[in-house]
Structure 1
Amino acid sequence: MDSTAVFEASRSRLASLAYRLLGSAADAQDAVQDAFLRWQGAEVERIEVPEAWLTKVVTNLCLDRLRSARARHERAVGSWLPEPLLDGDPMLGPADTAEQRESVSLAVLLLLERLSPNERAVYVLREAFSYSHAEIAQILDITEASSQQHGHRAKRRVADAHRGGEVDPESARRIVEEFLAAAGSGRVERLVALLTDDATAVSDRAGLSDAILEFSTPEKLAAIFRAGFKPTEAKRRIIGGSPQIHLAFVNGDPAMLAVFEGDVVGMVAFTVAGDKIAFACGIGAPHRLGRLTAAWREREPGEPLIASW
């Protein structure tokens, strides 16, 4: 097998690793391409374990990006959200275990932003790719004890903040339909009843603002949802018409997609705890929805929840 074929055999895994570390499909692709250039310039015949070499290179390229002054500024000013991916996208990577599926949810990707780059890397390598702490220590050039400490802190902080669980398609559809009915009813109490007591949400205001808005308390969330999901002529003018509302799974969580003429013009993904919504992430900026739209266009969407919003 030639060197290019060796790299291509690992490309999908490397991309899913980079996506978990960076939260952006576009940035992940750039990191993998940079790794390919380094691979081409290396004496590959002297590399005993190509997978380990490539994992180390991609991980450290991603950490360099996370530590860069530009990246720190962009993420610190509150203008960053993960890039959502439609379930089935190969960049979501391994999904055999609950830990692997959880590690790529939008809620967890946002939580990982609160970790140091090393904590984030240890969490992803350990939880999503099952590397041992000895292997992670070699990848990050740290001691095994440091890897264990980073991993323990990261896992505890994620567990303390993440309250979601897995949802089957039937339950997801019921929860989303109830949400739509409650949001359209104009009655805040119906929405509050669907939310956990400590529910939170983030939104890019349908892409109309660079600032990411964060909401807490069920009452505040319910008021925002009621206003946001009430159809108006002004909203239709911005979109260009009346979108359909579809149920989908995005990053493993149930989501509503607003689709107009084949384009996903808005998305809200839900983290569900029991039978209530614990977290919602609303995204409408076109630059965050491009890959999701491309994947959606390749699907047979099925009947919408709402044919004309």
Structure 2
Amino acid sequence: MELLALILVIALVTTFDYTNGFHDAANAIASAVSTRALSLRGALGLAAVMNLIGALAGTGVAVTIASGVIATPSGDAGLMVVGAALIGAILWNITTWYFGLPSSSSHALIGGLVGAALASATQVHWSGVLTKVAIPMVLSPLVGLTLGYLVMLGMLWAFRKVNAHAAGRWLRRAQILSASSLALGHGLQDAQKSMGVIVLSLVITGHQSDYSVPFWVILLCATALAAGTWSGGLRIMRTLGRRIFNLTPAHGFAAEVSASSVLYLTAFVFAAPVSTTHVMTSAVMGVGATTRRSAVRWSVAGDIAIGWVLTAPAAATIAALAYGVVSVF
């Protein structure tokens, strides 16, 4: 029975990774497609491949998710906690995708874990949630916003004497590299969160005693994320590529470079799970603000911010309800 439950949880993790892929594919490709640097299918294919490579590049964030958010519950009850957390995250991902709202799959997963843990009276590592999760997730969009603004200002100065048409053509090509870099950072960050959930499940069931990540777990999560990315997320892509700010190749390149820099820093240096969606959206706002403040559609940004605030408690609530239903059986 426990083995069956473990297989079910792994299936839920794979489903979450897939929804994460199609939900967050827009992060890497929206600007490249909207500026016509890449075709839609070409951008999706590139993002899927780079997501796959990024997912194979590290495991520090996975260990943080596996050991730093909640205490390790035991047996079938522990798998119920993990399963309920995944249900909460998946349902919230699908809801926000339907409405075209760029929300955080990372916030949804961590909110789901906390909600299910509270419902089951499992200890939450609040200090770890604060230092390793909450603070980096609050600071990273601010860094993305500031970095996007500064990088764009630097580019405007560097290209001030260059022919605008020639610069646009060069930057459109450069966007292929910057979009690849961002997609790799997305794979590095987001696939690891799912890896951490599977590792937590393996420890719960006694299949391993430490929080190291087996290669088959890395490969499974990487493949599921890449497959979800290939399926695309056009609803959210329209929001990131056009509704916040009408991106040019220069703006798209600056936003992608800024966002990917934040992703690499948080993953490799701090092993902290941050939201690719939040970082990229903030970077788009930052580069847009260099044109003029009114160029950014701040009302759209406000709607997105509401989604950011609601994500963790909404996913936590759904997960707590799911645990209540599952525990009855």
Q: Normalised by the shorter chain, which TM-score bucket? A: under 0.3
Larger radius of gyration: 1
Between the two structures, name the one with larger relative contact order (CA 8 Å, sep ≥ 6).
2
Richer in strand (by share): 1
Q: TM-score, normalised by structure 2?
A: 0.25
TM-score, length-scaled by structure 1: 0.26
Q: Which has the larger helix fraction?
A: 2
